[in-house]
Amino acid sequence: MRLFDVPAPRVKICGITSETDALMCAEAGADALGFNFYSGSKRYIDPSVSLGWIAKLEGAADRVAVVVNATPELVNLLWKSECFEMIQFHGDETPLQCESFGVSRWMKAVRARDAATLSHSLQFSAPQVLLDAWSPAGYGGTGEVADWGLIRDFIANSRSRQYVLAGGLTPLNVARAIAEVQPWAVDVAGGVESRPGVKDASLVKAFVSEAKKST
């Protein structure tokens, strides 16, 4: 996987809704691309019409399927399609549920509401944990900025995982976020869009450039 072959900080661009945007983001230097299969998301894509073009992206960047409280049938469909290098569980899944799906490579997303929420993430066996901003508005992609201080202190005292920082990142703040939090990777969706689900090439390039300044 590319995520493991490049130095930190890695860049994951989430909420990809088209092959054109996927190729543009990969060409700009993204290490991973996220595809949202949660029907409640503004960036939802239907697997029945998207798996064909996602399959053609093999080798361009790591492909991550994002699901929220998904059925075993959906997770099984996505993983067995061989279109993805990783599944990202972004809902209220328990450690047991995540492990029960039979996915060999997955990460858990946790909304960083407080120290107790972050400590709960240690119950998951996945080596990668995505720490997102907490918001009552939904499961990620809200544009809310995560509490960097809270996450920084947690990461500093818990190096047993590889942490992905998400939540309200943009080309204007990602370098500062990396300097302060020192994450393994950063994740962005709305911060590089012209409108929900449509990536802006100039913002994508600026984000990747700013994120990788410290590489």
Single out the catalytic residue among 21, 31, 62, 132: 132
Question: CB-hemisphere CA count at 13 Å for 10?
Answer: 23
Per-residue pLDDT tens listing for the chain (215 residues)? 888 888 889 999 999 999 999 999 999 999 999 999 999 999 999 999 999 999 999 999 999 999 999 999 999 999 999 999 999 999 999 999 999 999 999 999 999 999 999 998 999 999 999 999 987 767 766 778 989 999 999 999 887 899 999 999 999 999 999 999 999 999 999 999 999 999 999 999 999 999 998 66
Give me the residue label for tokens 């949202």. 36
Single out the catalytic residue among 14, 25, 83, 98: 14
Residue 114 appears among annotated catalytic residues: no
pTM flag (> 0.75): yes
Residue 25 appears among annotated catalytic residues: no
